[in-house]
Copies of this chain bind each other. A is one copy, B any other.
Amino acid sequence: MSKQSFKTDARADTRKVILEAGTKSILKKGYHQCGLAEILEEAGVPKGSFYYYFPSKEDFGLALIENWLEKYAEAEQWLHDGSVSPLTRVRRFFEERYRMFQRARRQYGCMVGTLFAEMAAHNETFRRRVQEILTAWLDQIAECLVQAQRAAEIGADLDARAMAEFCLISWEGAVQRGKTVQSIAPLDLFFQVIFDSLLTK
């Protein structure tokens, strides 16, 4: 490895360390209540170097969303797993997110949802990016549900896209509620209603 590429790696690492520290703080305390000093202390990075990586707090917020999306990659893979039925793919996507919520001890919830609740209504850049992400999930879930209809796993009378959207809407509601009551129960309720009542034959 050349000296140059080593330097590039070190830079990428520091950026990543700051992002991970930021994610931890923001999911605990919210975007606005989370101070830069605290994040940098957690990351063990001197304050001066922050703006080298992130020109503004908004850039930082957007980078946090992208960093967080990598964590969803595993969940998204399930939506393309041809070895199981289309409806099972959708269920496994949410099951993976269920496990993420459990691992985070129910405190953290969904980064996209958190930034979204705090920022989307009053910051156009955030709003647009969050909407892009939600639309991408929506497209993939809707495609699975169309296939599930062809495979007669769910009723042909359902509007697949509307159902996909309702899944995402009620999932975010369930995660929020799970944070408030500090319980996994709202997510269990989500599975029960969506997969035992709504998405049936």
* B117 adjacent to A176 (CB under 8 Å): yes
Residues of chain A from 15 to 47 with CB closer than 8 A to chain B in the complex: 28-33
When A117-B117, A121-B109 are in contact, do A130 and B166 touch as well, CB less than 8 Å?
no
- Check if A60 is an interface residue, CB within 8 A of chain B: no
Within 8 Å by CB of A122, from B33, B127, B131, lies: B33
- Check if A171 is an interface residue, CB within 8 A of chain B: yes
Question: Among the listed stretches A88-96, A142-150, A185-193, which one makes contact with chain B, having 4 or more residues with CB under 8 Å of it?
Answer: A185-193
Nearest residue, chain B, Cβ from A181 = B131
A139 shortest CB reach to chain B, Å: 15
Residues of B within 8 A of A163 (CB): 193
Q: How far is the CA of A125 from the CA of B134 in the complex (A)?
A: 32
Within 8 Å by CB of A30, from B118, B172, B177, B179, lies: B118
A166 shortest CB reach to chain B, Å: 5
* A176 adjacent to B165 (CB under 8 Å): no
Residues of B within 8 A of A134 (CB): 177, 180
Nearest residue, chain B, Cβ from A117 = B117
Q: Can you offer 12 A-B residue contacts whose CB atoms are under 8 A?
A: A30-B118, A30-B119, A32-B32, A113-B117, A113-B176, A114-B117, A134-B180, A162-B192, A165-B186, A169-B176, A169-B177, A173-B174
Centre residue among A29, A30, A186 by max chain B CB count within 10 A = A30
Residues of chain A from 80 to 128 with CB closer than 8 A to chain B in the complex: 107-109, 113-114, 116-122, 127
Q: How far is the CA of A7 from the CA of B30 in the complex (A)?
A: 40
- Check if A2 is an interface residue, CB within 8 A of chain B: no
- Check if A198 is an interface residue, CB within 8 A of chain B: yes
Q: How far is the CA of A165 from the CA of B189 in the complex (A)?
A: 9
* B176 adjacent to A116 (CB under 8 Å): yes
